[in-house]
Structure 1
Amino acid sequence: MTIRAVVFDFGGVLFDWSPHHLYRQLIPGDQERQWFLDDICTQAWNTEQDAGRTLAEATHSLIAAYPQHEALIRAYYERWHEMLRGPLAGGVAILEDLHEANVPLFGLTNWSAETFPYARANYPFLQYFRNIVVSGEVKLIKPDPAIYRVSLDQVRAHLPDIQPEEVVFIDDVAENANAATALGWRGIHHVSPEQTRRELQALGVSV
């Protein structure tokens, strides 16, 4: 079946985002920094904001639990933009090639509703997307099947008769790609731009 739309995850595919980019400046020691990000400002804590919790509430609750780390905790969102190093050239090149080929493009990202506007304002390639589903805006998060249904509804707003198997979803997290596959999409686990290109080509997508 012909692929009629491609949906992109953002972090790890199009964007180089990592708390380490900021905290290397604040906690020079590798072990101390890793401990802080594993035990205080954890990925699970950040995911709650991606799922819709406000940055203010998240910061307040964590400072209440770990007041001795207040300055480092506040830095997480006060200097969040320093975690976003920039675009990943290989992933963006795929996006641009698909755009040039007039393939309908959509986004599906786990991202805070409060920090995503920074990306919109600073990365023009996001204009290639016909729609972007941001987890923090819809208060659902991958790999919950419900957020994929929201995304498919947005795709169908542009391509009303499209079927799940005509949609490719690219994500650097295997669980998220597999969740799309389980719903009938063509999930691609993004491990490198070269591998993703090969998988798209195997599906008949010119890229």
Structure 2
Amino acid sequence: MENIKAIIFDLGNVLIDWNPDYVFDPLFEDKEQKKHFFQNICTMEWNEQQDAGRSIKEATEELVAKHPEWKEYIEAYYGKWAEMLGGPIHDTVEIFRQIKESGKYKLYALTNWSAELFPIALELYEFLYWFDGRVVSGEEKMRKPHPEFYQVLLNRYHLKPQETLFIDDSLRNIKAAEQLGITSIHFQNPRQLQEALLENGILDA
């Protein structure tokens, strides 16, 4: 990775712990009922529409109209959304800090995140201001893994794919970046990321 000049971080579950279970485990006594809810009502596909720019109000109202018997739970999804944030993933933030302080790389965030909710993260996490630039899906009305979303960041900050490293916990998003010629690390945990960065000379031993 000698030619790397810029590093792009995903945020959710790389730098910031996000888990709907923090809200819904207390709401569901029956684990099968919770499983049904996430597989059939508030699905990941539904959530991704908000990440791509649809309003929370519209999304919630549409789902309540379809599934009125689940109204309390549907409204809790965004009504209690801030409680899904478990805080910084401190070991990854420390890796981020070390890279930042080295001064060797430009640092960017590329995140699937509702434009209505991202300001909450900006209030909570000072390290979001360490980036040289951020591209938020809800603001652009497009999201990972669509190639045009990655291209927004590359174009906006004049980055060459072959000089860019991308870190994300989603294999789907990693594969999309690699299709564009971006070197990528599939994040699994901070230790694994640290070892990969040490091995490739991004971090100093």
Q: TM-score, normalised by structure 2?
A: 0.94
After TM superposition, the structure 1 = structure 2 runs for residues 18-29 of structure 1, keeping only pairs within 5 Å, are: 18-29=19-30
RMSD: 1.3
Give the conservation status (yes or no) of the 8 Å contact 1:106–1:129.
yes
Match status 1:195 vs 2:192: yes
CA distance in 2, matches of 1:155, 1:177: 20
> How many residue pairs end up in the alignment?
202
After TM superposition, the structure 1 = structure 2 runs for residues 123-162 of structure 1, keeping only pairs within 5 Å, are: 123-156=125-158, 162=159
Any gaps of 5 or more consecutive residues in structure 2?
none
Shift of 1:152: 0.8
Which residue pairs with 2:35 in the alignment? 34
Which residue pairs with 2:123 in the alignment? 121
Which residue pairs with 2:110 in the alignment? 108
Match status 1:67 vs 2:68: yes
CA distance in 2, matches of 1:20, 1:44: 17
CA distance in 1, matches of 2:199, 2:178: 16
Shift of 1:204: 2.6
Alignment match of 2:166 (pick from 169, 177, 181): 169
CA distance in 2, matches of 1:61, 1:28: 26
| Letter matched to residue 178 of structure 1 | K
Any idea what the Cα deviations from partners look like across 1:44-86, whole Å, max 9, x if unmatched? 1101100111000000100000011111111111111011111
Which residue pairs with 1:92 in the alignment? 93
Shift of 1:196: 1.6
Give the conservation status (yes or no) of the 8 Å contact 1:51–1:139.
yes
Shift of 1:21: 0.8
| Letter matched to residue 13 of structure 2 | G
Any idea what the Cα deviations from partners look like across 1:135-180, whole Å, max 9, x if unmatched? 1110111111101110112332xxxxx4211110000011111211
Shift of 1:185: 1.0
Shift of 1:90: 2.2
Any gaps of 5 or more consecutive residues in structure 1?
157-161
CA distance in 1, matches of 2:200, 2:150: 20
Q: TM-score, normalised by structure 1?
A: 0.93
CA distance in 1, matches of 2:123, 2:21: 23
Give the conservation status (yes or no) of the 8 Å contact 1:3–1:203.
no
